[in-house]
Structure 1
């Protein structure tokens, strides 16, 4: 997005607010607030919601001297695995921060609806700019009789890898292999749970978890895949789902958050988040039926033609900035 805004004539200066958000250390919080206060007055400022949502005091100060835009991928309290107290703390903090901003960019209509209904953000202040997708060649898939499943996402509770592994554990009579690609450094407990589940169900020869891979390696994995599978509890948009459609892959996933807005009903099978039995049945159908996979893949390729491009998304983002400036 930064590159596309540059092509549209915007000079974008990137400010690194530090690591650990949305639970920064006191030192990180203080440093981030000081950095934001040091921005020369009058410049439009865009702050990612991961940080802004836990810096309501800094947001209020910024809004007094700058056109302030929040970029919200999904509400922080929607992250899975939070205690009731922590979720409530995040919701109150983000609601306070969003009350100060002059505009909000969200990545889906579903997130816009949530911010209006649950966070009190006026709909007129919200612009929806879905992330762009780059056109790619359809995946040819595997050629050896093994149905290859690809799952892409950071190993955190919200991605539902516990549900995916439990569902696949009931399908060991079928010829499948799963590759889980994504950051394994974000949540040590979730990584330990995933590795333990794979071992407990006896799937170590069927499930590979390489962590983050290079873009070229990921492109190769997409090309070799037959099915995209991800059991997210919630997505504010679902970029991995969109990437799967771009590669013409059938999708087996959930209807959490904005996923149904991204994945048409004829391009994938979506079940309720956390529904192990429902996900297992969907996986059984798609793994075991080559004709169904072909139909879903054809619909995925059609859906990919309707995905926004990065220039299209950047134009929406730029218009929001222009209104503020």
Structure 2
């Protein structure tokens, strides 16, 4: 897995996922050996490449190796030569070419490298049904080799939000501040409803795209929203819990998401969601047991729809009450991390029982191994 997986300054859904399944797999009888590879993944320097190559080279023949896609997918020259003797699985949190803001030429190169890697490995794990279907279609993968293990959610106490009827509605965006997460268009849309009361906290890392963050700060000032929009930086643990507890609405206006863990983290507290209908976000929002939708989904390229949704939620108490009730219903139906780990373990068990095998349309018949979250060895089996 990437070297910064436990760095509190750079929290991410992918890091949380990696950490949770590494902790939970041993409870299902698996021996897990974690290997974190420092480096600027998916653009590693020579030292990071050498370390990854060493780890794979020293893995015993037939080892079952689970790799985080951010480490594996951009280095097929390291992965593919090891695939024939190792049982390799790659966990794809986000296709590399889907990162917003990449030059088209760079995105195409990353996409091609990812395709080579994923066609060579024996198993691919996606974090939503939508993501699995896209990987199959986009990269030409064998459907039976692509598995789904969606992130789980920890049910938490119901958020208190705005406790006073005269309070200002509190909006929350939990996402690293990058172009893909769309904070700029969120701020622009909120400026269009500045006549209504609201406040926004953006909780997420500020170091990944510093130029974007600087432009966003400038925009907030130009729009006169410095007293209403707060870039809080990364929040984890009790501090993040308190941030969710104070929220009335989660807003996530991403341009690309394979799932969206912040959505289910909010729903686990009964906080409704306003999100763009991209990727796996509709799957994460889901439905309450009575069929109601615990949020509003808007087209990704329709600013007017986003503004209308914000105005409707902010200006209509009945809308807020209905969505809050649906969110509380969805909260009771969320799957936990134990389901995630069991689904992942099922994919690994299938791979464990097979001989290393490559997918078609790939010249080298080897399976790539990189580093994602853990290197899983053959599981302990008890009577």
Contact 1:163 1:275 in 2 (8 A): no
- Is the contact between residue 158 and residue 233 of structure 1 (CA under 8 Å) also seen in structure 2? yes
Q: Distance in 2 between matches of 1:2 and 1:189?
A: 34
SS in 1 for 2:82: helix
- What do residues 57-81 of structure 1 show as CA deviations (whole Å, max 9, x unaligned)? 2221231221100101121111111
The separation in 1 between residues aligned to 2:231 and 2:300, in whole angstroms, is: 22
Q: Using the alignment, how far apart are the partners of 1:141 and 1:192 within structure 2? A: 29
Deviations 1:227-265 (A, max 9, x none): 111101111011011111111112111001111111137
The offset of 1:125, in angstroms, is 0.3
Please name the residue that 1:149 is paired with. Answer: 171
- Deviation (angstroms), 1:274: 3.6
Deviations 1:242-301 (A, max 9, x none): 111111112111001111111137211111114322111111111112221111111112
Q: Aligned ranges for residues 91-102 of structure 1 at < 5 Å?
A: 91-102=111-122
TM-score, structure 2 length as denominator?
0.82
2-structure distance, mates of 1:26, 1:288 = 55
Q: Does the alignment pair 1:248 with 2:275?
A: no
Who is 1:105 aligned against? Answer: 125
Residue 323 of structure 2 aligns with which residue? 296
Match of 2:222 in 1: 200
1:324 Cα deviation after fit: 1.1
Match of 2:75 in 1: 55
- Hey, what does 1:238 align to over in structure 2? 260
Cα distance in 2 between the residues matched to 1:250 and 1:271: 14
1:72 aligns with 2:107: no
**Post-superposition shift, 1:218?**
1.1
CA contact (8 A) 1:163 1:274 kept: no
Matches within 5 A, 1:21-32: 21-32=41-52
Q: Could you state the TM-score of these two structures normalised by the residue count of structure 1?
A: 0.97
Please say if 1:184 is aligned against 2:203: no
Between the aligned partners of 1:78 and 1:241, the Cα distance in structure 2 is: 20
1:271 pairs, out of 298, 305, 322, with 298
Residue 282 (structure 2) aligns with = 260
- The Cα of 1:27 is off from its aligned counterpart by 2.9
How far apart are the structure 1 equivalents of 2:58 and 2:307?
53
Query: How far does residue 28 in structure 1 lie from its aligned partner after superposition?
Result: 2.0
1:323 aligned residue: 350
> Number of matched residues?
325
CA shift at 1:3, angstroms? Answer: 1.1
* Aligned equivalent of 2:65: 45
Which stretch of structure 1 is more off in the superposition, 93-102 or 244-253?
244-253
The residue number in structure 1 matching 2:250 is 228
Q: Distance in 2 between matches of 1:56 and 1:305?
A: 42
CA distance in 2: counterparts of 1:274 and 1:30, whole angstroms: 42
Q: Distance in 1 between matches of 2:319 and 2:49?
A: 51
SS in 1 for 2:36: coil
State the distance in 2 between where 1:189 and 1:96 align. Answer: 32
Q: CA separation in 1, counterparts of 2:163 and 2:155?
A: 24
For structure 2, list consecutive stretches of 5 or more residues without a partner in the other structure.
1-20, 287-291, 353-383
Tell me, in whole angstroms, the C-alpha distance in 2 between the residues paired with 1:75 and 1:204: 34
How much does 1:317 deviate? 0.8
Higher relative contact order (CA 8 A, sep 6+): 2
User: How far apart in 2 are the matches of 1:240 and 1:273?
Assistant: 18
Structure 2 equivalent of residue 33 of structure 1: 53
Alpha-carbon RMSD across the aligned residues, in angstroms, is 1.3
Distance 1:178 1:39 in 2: 48
Q: Aligned partners of 1:19 and 1:152: how far apart in 2?
A: 25
**Larger displacement relative to structure 2 (191-200 or 32-41):** 32-41
CA contact (8 A) 1:247 1:301 kept: yes
